[in-house]
Chains A and B, each alone.
Chain A
Amino acid sequence: AQSVTQLGSHVSVSEGALVLLRCNYSSSVPPYLFWYVQYPNQGLQLLLKYTSAATLVKGINGFEAEFKKSETSFHLTKPSAHMSDAAEYFCAVIPNSGYSTLTFGKGTMLLVSP
């Protein structure tokens, strides 16, 4: 079985500050991991994915995430927040073998203040 825990339903940062959104996973087999972003009244857009290649993954809009097996974590970071980053972010996991569906975390709403 697999699951994802996102710490913090809301994260507030100032424009220009570091963004850190936390994601921890549990999976019975090595997983693939994804981060998605959702803007109001839209679907989810893929930010980045980890598929067992490099542990540091770069995505769109300046975001990156690091896979740490020892900590079962896949935290999302961005060095400098923009107002346009305000959205809801979802971490998701799927086993890298067998057939299964994506399991999503509850989401973290990122608030960016001027």
Chain B
Amino acid sequence: KAGVTQTPRYLIKTRGQQVTLSCSPISGHRSVSWYQQTPGQGLQFLFEYFSETQRNKGNFPGRFSGRQFSNSRSEMNVSTLELGDSALYLCASRQEHNSPLHFGNGTRLTVT
């Protein structure tokens, strides 16, 4: 089975711009979660989608949003980028709520 695929791997954006990141989960996994990873804050939960519905949301401003499509693929969007948004954004999928998360290799976003 193919793993979790995230595109693109690297992104460089300018403050004020917006960005869309994409994630394809493992086949058969209906749950997709997004995490932000930074050296200072570690892994912080952004949101989780299950069957196109947002199930949980972390403590991030409304500039961070996401969605899930009927094929379980997910996108997250960050608008009005700030320097502090520079991070590794990780997507993970799981089969059911207490199953392990399977992670993609992430998208490294740099905001200049």
**Which A residues are closer than 8 A to B by beta carbons?**
32, 34, 36, 41-46, 49, 51, 90, 92, 94-96, 99-107
Contact = CB atoms under 8 A, between A and B. Distances in A.
Interface string B58-100: 0000000000000000000000000000000010100001101
- The 4 lowest CB-CB distance pairs between A and B, nearest first, are A43-B103, A44-B103, A104-B43, A43-B105
Interface in B16-54: 33, 42-43, 45, 48
15 contacts: A32-B98, A41-B106, A42-B105, A42-B106, A43-B104, A43-B105, A44-B90, A51-B98, A95-B98, A99-B56, A100-B56, A101-B33, A102-B101, A104-B43, A106-B42
Interface residues of B, number: 21
B102 interface: yes
Interface of B: 4, 6, 33, 42-43, 45, 48, 55-56, 90, 92, 97-98, 100-106, 108
Contacts of A100: 56, 97
Contacts of B92: 43-44
